[in-house]
Structure 1
Amino acid sequence: MSITADLPDRMKAAVLRKPFEIVLEDRPVPEVGPDEVLIKVMAVGVCGSDVHYYETGRIGRYVVEKPIILGHECAGIVAAVGDNVTRFKVGDRVAVEPGVTCGTCEYCKQGRYNLCPDVKFLATPPYDGAFVQYFKHRQDFVFHIPDHLTFEEAAMIEPFSVGIHAATRAGIRPGSTVAIFGLGPVGLMAVVAAKAFGASRIIAVDLEEIRLKAAKEVGATLAINAKEADALKEILDFTDKRGVDVAIEAAGHPKTLQDALASLCRGGKLAVVGLPAQDNIPLNVPEIADKEVDIYGIFRYANTYPKGIDILSSGIADVRSLVTGRFSLAQTAQALEEARINKAKHIKIMVYPNEM
């Protein structure tokens, strides 16, 4: 095994003990297995799922039953490599895909490994995440990043991957007209994905001006404030009543899902990214049939990290501008609280575990 000369024996971790209680703990630095690398974590994005676990201790069937380390959008430096690791050496700068799958089930064999029933996903109970100075990860879910890509940008490959997966599934292509409903980090990164896939017109819909402004900065053609205008009418007017080729619903709200469906042209495609609070939402089934609409569920992503790294490395959009809050590991509770209560001020908050 190869390790850095200055690798410590102990490290700090921000641990969620119960809702609203984050404690900084001293823990041993993990020892890597033969196929693993040890990551010195340099940047971690605060995700909406982290906030949900912090606030309620659960998301659907995933329940925090023991203390857990949150955080899964991360990038860092390789600090140690296992005996079988051939792709990495100590000192490499990397982005980390958080879900480690089995590699042997039918879904993994099909290349749809995001559907693997045995995935071990960072910060999804019972698995610890990346609000920690070091963690180990299997080498095939770690990816080199170029020197000019910042750790913040590399951490954002994770939400960007959702946008890439949605764009791929829904078939965005050069010349497509796309509407994106909900401009949290995933929705904003979906704007970047639509731009990268060649969409000629990208319509962004949200309630917050900070997010609408950000959407224009990263590639949206038109930004609609749904508090001030009828978003569906604006989209149909903008497209001369035709509708859009692809709608991506990233808000997780019944009204936006219904509007996203209604915004489609005949033969259009709807990608459902957002998760609403309720299971059942009324949809216009005759319209789905009459327009011959294709509806795609989007669950995480698969085979997106190399493409995501290439796209962001090209400088297609300044996603660093989306980072609106920066906190140390000791301030993780403050970072989560800020993300929870200050949505009108923040887009993406970052935690820096090795900058104390």
Structure 2
Amino acid sequence: MKAARFYDVRDLKIEDIPIPEIDLDDDVIVKVKVAGICGSDISKYSKTGPHIPGEVFGHEFSGDVIKVGTNVENIKSGDAVAVCPSLPCFKCDQCKQGLFSRCENLGIIGNKNAGGCFAEYVKISSKNLIKLPKGIDYETAAGIEPSCIAGHGMYRANIKVGDTVAILGTGPIGLLLIQWAKIFGATKVIAIDVFDEKLKIAKELGADICINGKEVDIIEKVRQMTDLKGVDVAIESAGTPLTSAQVLSLPRKGGTVLYAGVPYSDVNISRVHFEKILRNELTVKGTWFGNSYPFPGREWTSAIYYMKKGELKISPFVTHRITLDELPEIFEKIHKRDIFFGKIMVNINNN
């Protein structure tokens, strides 16, 4: 089969490798239809490199089941599926409590644990698959995993009906957080970014107010919009050192901060922002992966439900649809910042 093999930073090659085979009774072979490029894939390509030279990475995808192990009962050959890429151990103390996103030995396909989805076929356990209902296409289904990442964060933030929510960073996760915030009942959602192109999409997906951080002092602007009180929940989804500090100054007294963006450099927080945790008695939370009990979790069933209702959308922020052969070129363009992009979808067997 054709696969994208990752050898080193900025060294990605399309090569032929063997199609994976059934090894365990609960193994399933999935023919990949559509795969999405995650922000972590971009950082991996440009900065951190592979865990094992020659690995096949990528973890956001949908596809068709073509072969199942002897003990597989929940899925059959021919089923269209969404794929959860998380690989909890199911044995540690966190897993025994159903807290799979906190697994002490958590893995993900596309790293050293298992081959990823930038390939024509993937082998994975049947417990990681959810059969797709009619009405959800493969591209939308490839967006379920990042939707669950955002949804898990919403459950962590405990957003309530009537809340005002500020979201810093309107990349794919930020745009999904905007939609989830509305689903959870937020009355006012404030989207903050430095790119007008992204803010335009944020507005289309439900943001009530859009603020360009290059043009105004976002902290003062949010204060003005909230009667000088601040928002109920502020979410950092850009993963920059600047926004990781600013987010602490956006909530009201007793409000909540959720860190959803992954910073790939050190974060230095000034006293003026850090003291807000103490003086305003903030609740500060992190969020990781998108799983809960029963695995893969309520995030997955909820995402599919709201996608069917049309309240959780992927296509409005898909900016590129490419083939597997074009993958090395698009990663290099991203690295060189030669393109503006939102979500990039790779059509692999989706002709």
Partners in 2 of 1:81 and 1:213 — Cα distance? 44
Partner of 1:14: 4
Partner of 2:307: 312
Cα distance change on mapping 1:55 and 1:287 into 2, 3 Å:
closer
1:47 is the counterpart of 2:9: no
Identity percentage of aligned residues: 35
Aligned residue pairs, count: 342
| SS of 1:309 mapped into structure 2 | helix
Partners in 2 of 1:248 and 1:343 — Cα distance? 28
8 Å Cα contact 1:339-1:349 kept in structure 2: no
Partner of 2:284: 295
CA offsets 1:238-267 (integer angstroms, 9 cap, x no match)? 111111111110111222122211110111
Partners in 2 of 1:162 and 1:238 — Cα distance? 28
8 Å Cα contact 1:329-1:353 kept in structure 2: yes
Partner of 1:200: 187
8 Å Cα contact 1:219-1:317 kept in structure 2: no
Aligned match for 2:14, one of 18, 24, 27: 24
1:352 is the counterpart of 2:342: no
CA offsets 1:28-78 (integer angstroms, 9 cap, x no match)? 2111221121111011111121112222343xxxx5342111211111111
Of 311-320 and 96-105, deviating more is 311-320
Deviation at 1:129, TM superposition (A): 0.9
Partners in 1 of 2:240 and 2:107 — Cα distance? 28
Partners in 1 of 2:262 and 2:186 — Cα distance? 25
Of 257-266 and 334-343, deviating more is 334-343
1:34 is the counterpart of 2:25: yes
1:93 is the counterpart of 2:88: no
Cα distance change on mapping 1:343 and 1:226 into 2, 3 Å:
farther
Partners in 2 of 1:209 and 1:29 — Cα distance? 43
| SS of 2:17 mapped into structure 1 | strand
Letter in 1 for 2:319: T
Partners in 1 of 2:202 and 2:339 — Cα distance? 15
CA offsets 1:165-208 (integer angstroms, 9 cap, x no match)? 11111101211110000111111111111111111110000111
1:76 is the counterpart of 2:71: no
Partner of 2:332: 337
Uncovered stretches (5+) of structure 1, i.e. residues with no partner: 1-10
Partners in 2 of 1:86 and 1:331 — Cα distance? 37
| SS of 2:349 mapped into structure 1 | coil
Describe how 1:56-75 pairs up with structure 2 within 5 A. 56-58=47-49, 64-75=51-62
8 Å Cα contact 2:303-2:312 kept in structure 1: no
Partners in 2 of 1:123 and 1:48 — Cα distance? 14
Letter in 1 for 2:240: H
8 Å Cα contact 2:166-2:235 kept in structure 1: yes
Partners in 1 of 2:337 and 2:147 — Cα distance? 22
The TM-score with structure 1 as length reference comes to 0.91
Root-mean-square deviation (CA, aligned residues, Å) is 1.7
Partner of 1:7: none
Deviation at 1:118, TM superposition (A): 2.2
Letter in 2 for 1:213: K
Partners in 2 of 1:216 and 1:348 — Cα distance? 17
Partners in 1 of 2:77 and 2:113 — Cα distance? 29
Deviation at 1:282, TM superposition (A): 2.0
Cα distance change on mapping 1:259 and 1:278 into 2, 3 Å:
same
Cα distance change on mapping 1:217 and 1:226 into 2, 3 Å:
same
Partners in 1 of 2:338 and 2:345 — Cα distance? 14
Partners in 1 of 2:338 and 2:75 — Cα distance? 38
| SS of 1:146 mapped into structure 2 | coil
Describe how 1:203-352 pairs up with structure 2 within 5 A. 203-282=190-269, 284-302=273-291, 303=297, 304-342=299-337, 345-352=340-347
Letter in 1 for 2:146: P
1:144 is the counterpart of 2:131: yes
Partners in 2 of 1:265 and 1:190 — Cα distance? 20
8 Å Cα contact 1:53-1:64 kept in structure 2: no
Letter in 2 for 1:228: E
CA offsets 1:77-136 (integer angstroms, 9 cap, x no match)? 111111111111111111111112111211111111112122230122454210001111
| SS of 2:252 mapped into structure 1 | strand
8 Å Cα contact 1:64-1:126 kept in structure 2: no
Of 280-289 and 238-247, deviating more is 280-289
8 Å Cα contact 2:245-2:274 kept in structure 1: no
Cα distance change on mapping 1:192 and 1:18 into 2, 3 Å:
same
Partners in 2 of 1:126 and 1:97 — Cα distance? 14
